[in-house]
Structure 1
């Protein structure tokens, strides 16, 4: 009679030096930069928070930062974990529009406790050590349907993200306040991949 094993082999750890995070406060140009990197042929992820807000607003859900911040954070975490797993299947460099430590920064910014499982996720699911952070930039800051924060809150968000990534051992690399093309060159030179 054949025997079945209840143990499963652990999946190999992905090469997380291929996973580059771009973070910062809202309205600092990071998503525009990642859009341009994607247009140049690079793999990318999409910002979890914006997608959760769009989906929840479309269905009348409560996982919105102005209704249920804890549930909003949980859905962002689930989305970021999926993005991390999908990126592990990519052979190329992947740019992340925010990462799991952003959730820690968000919770702390809101004065909420960081649950142990969120802390564990930030420790376990890693990214490239050098993380790009977009500084607050009042000249380009615009509110929209998903971005309701004031510029002052955007500045506080920047500080919260910087603190969160530093706490998990990442090195922060500030993006220049420059054109999108200059930012693309800055980022691709840093990772050693000039656009074609």
Structure 2
């Protein structure tokens, strides 16, 4: 199952969601980023599990949602592309609290060994209602993820800064 599960991670605002839309348009199964969905839910109900209010609560919810997403896609045939995954959230939780969650989950919930990272791309980075952090915070997150995935035994592939269609072609050719 895990070989079919492809993670798209990397710098916040680096074009992951747009690339996921392209992969979906091409007929691949995709899963939206847990963080965006949580932020939308929390804002709609005046909740506090938001990265700028309670990062630990947000990360715990994102881990749970990402694990549920994996389970929901269990019987989906073919490749499944995830906009982030539990590793991104667990890495944030460990950085925030020191709680050792990565190692505990890593052996049981693997993704494909090849993880694609969107590099920092200031020319396309935008803050919005759901992404309130600045580019410097996005860069720090990217650097943390750039270390985390290889430490868990994943090969990271940096996506080129090219058109969305070319990025999708690059990913699919690499797989």
TM-score for both structures, normalised by structure 2: 0.95
RMSD, aligned CA = 1.3
Matched, 1:29 2:15: yes
Please name the residue that 2:132 is paired with. Answer: 148
In the aligned structure 2, how far is the partner of 1:115 from the partner of 1:35? 33
Q: Does 1:180 align with 2:164?
A: yes
Q: Distance in 1 between matches of 2:53 and 2:139?
A: 22
- The aligned residue for residue 97 of structure 2 is 112
- Kindly indicate whether the alpha-carbon contact (under 8 Å) linking 2:116 and 2:157 is maintained by their aligned counterparts in 1: yes
Instruction: Provide the TM-score with structure 1 as the length reference.
Output: 0.85
Indicate the residue corresponding to 2:81 in structure 1. 95
- For structure 2, the residue ranges without an aligned partner over 5 or more in a row are none
Does the 8 A contact of 1:104 with 1:119 survive in 2? no
Give the length in aligned residue pairs.
175
CA distance in 2, matches of 1:67, 1:123: 31
- Structure 1 or 2, whichever has the larger Rg, is 1
Q: Which structure 1 segments of 5+ residues have no match?
A: 1-14, 192-196
Alignment of 1:1-196 (within 5 A): 15-109=1-95, 111-116=96-101, 119-191=103-175
Q: Aligned partners of 1:37, 1:128: CA distance in 2, in Å? A: 17
